[in-house]
Amino acid sequence: MNESQLSERPESTPYAPGAPRGQDLLPPVEPPSAGFIVQLFVVPALIVLVIVGVALTFSWLVRRSASRPDDVIKGLEQGPAIARWQRASELADMLRNERFVGFKRSDKSAGELAQILKREIDDANMDDGAIAMRVYLVKALGKFEVNEGIDELLRAAETNRDPAEQLVRYRAIEAIAERAFNLSQLKPPQQLSHPQLEPVLLRLSSDENPFVRGRTVYALGHLGTPAAVERLEVMTDDPDADTRYDAAVALAHRGNEKSVPTLAEMLDLEELIKNEPDTKESDPYKRAVVVASAIEAVKDLAKKNPNANLAAASEALKTLAKADKNALAAAKVPPRAAFDAKSALTFLETQVSSAASAEAPATK
């Protein structure tokens, strides 16, 4: 561009000193009006509050009008099979709520539910719906905190007319164990009692089905009578590994040193592999749970029975504490197990020292 072209630039160019700029072309900025603020913030907020209020009101009305356990029991024997077992399932779930603690302590309600279970067992229907009905009935009965109705739970646990009833048996035994635990937690604690309770559980503990025996361990452990404890001591030698493991843990938490040999077995990596061979169906977490349960059981045994002979368990803990990563991985046991074993050994040493100090004669 030459000098003549520069001189011909019009003075009206936007770069001229007096020309308006971009901000001068916009309308003047004014503070928002009250109406604008209401439309932008207040109205949407009110709409949200109304929606939340309606939702909460609806939820409250639903809870208020929901069936109570008494109402569900009245409808258990009405309608098609699917509706009946679904109501039983609803009842079992409902009784997990502490709102219904009064209902769970009602002999009358437990008795009514037990009578329905009795009729279902007498009917001997093996259809899926009928089996599901009995399963949820025994689960609901397990939630009660009274002795009433235990007779029908015992009957359900022993009724074995068809393979389809095995699930009912498992859940019935679990319900008995839960009922015993519930009563033990009351203030003051109560004992689950029935003339046939011990005889039935002792028979079930010798059942040919290992799953039945395994579940019976929990019931015997929560029952805790001398006969139940004596039977648990025998069951630490059960041919089924899970059953003897559970029996040992139950005894250990009661301070019974006859659990020690089996606890040592549970801490032995080679024994774990032998008792549960690697298969596609094996649970990868099962051995970790077994080892963790054994470690906690040994510690609890030491606390409850400071004079117990824990030599076998201590040796097993020492071996586990020294296990390398390869050995732990081969047994499908997490590396943390070695650390937990070391901590348990330290705890046992502390317990031994405390017990020795307590027994030492006072010196002048």
Confidence (pLDDT) at 10: 46
Q: Which pLDDT tens digit goes with each residue over 117-167?
A: 999 999 999 999 999 999 999 999 999 999 999 999 999 999 999 999 999
Average pLDDT over residues 261-265: 97
**Cis amide linkage into residue 188, ω under 30° from 0:** yes
- Give percent above pLDDT 70 in the chain: 77
Residue 234 pLDDT > 60: yes
Write down the residue that tokens 């639903």 correspond to. 62
Residue 206 pLDDT > 80: yes
Q: Which pLDDT tens digit goes with each residue over 57-73?
A: 444 333 433 478 888 88
Tell me how crowded residue 281 is: count the other CB atoms within 10 A of its CB.
4
- Top CATH class, 67-235: mainly alpha
- From the number of C-beta atoms within 10 Å of its C-beta (0-12, 13-18, 19+), residue 338 rates as buried
pLDDT band at 213 (very low <50, low <70, confident <90, very high): very high
Domain ranges of the chain: 67-235, 236-354
Confidence (pLDDT) at 39: 61
Confidence (pLDDT) at 82: 75
Classify the C-alpha dihedral 30-31-33-39 as positive or negative.
positive
Query: Residue by residue, what is the 3-state secondary structure of the chain?
Result: CCHHHHHCCCCCCCCCCCCCCHHHHCCCCCCCCHHHHHHHHHHHHHHHHHHHHHHHHHHHHHHHHCCCHHHHHHCCCCCCHHHHHHHHHHHHHHCCCHHHHHHHCCHHHHHHHHHHHHHHHHHCCCCHHHHHHHHHHHHHHHCCCCCCCHHHHHHHHHCCCCHHHHHHHHHHHHHHHHHHHHHHCCCCCCCCCCCCHHHHHHHHCCCCCHHHHHHHHHHHHHHCCHHHHHHHHHHCCCCCHHHHHHHHHHHHCCCCHHHHHHHHHHCCHHHHHHHCCCCCCCCCCHHHHHHHHHHHHHHHHHHHCCCCCCHHHHHHHHHHHHCCHHHHHHCCCCCHHHHHHHHHHHHHHHHHHHHHHHHCCCCC
Which is more confidently placed, 82 or 246?
Answer: 246
Confidence (pLDDT) at 83: 81
pLDDT band at 285 (very low <50, low <70, confident <90, very high): confident
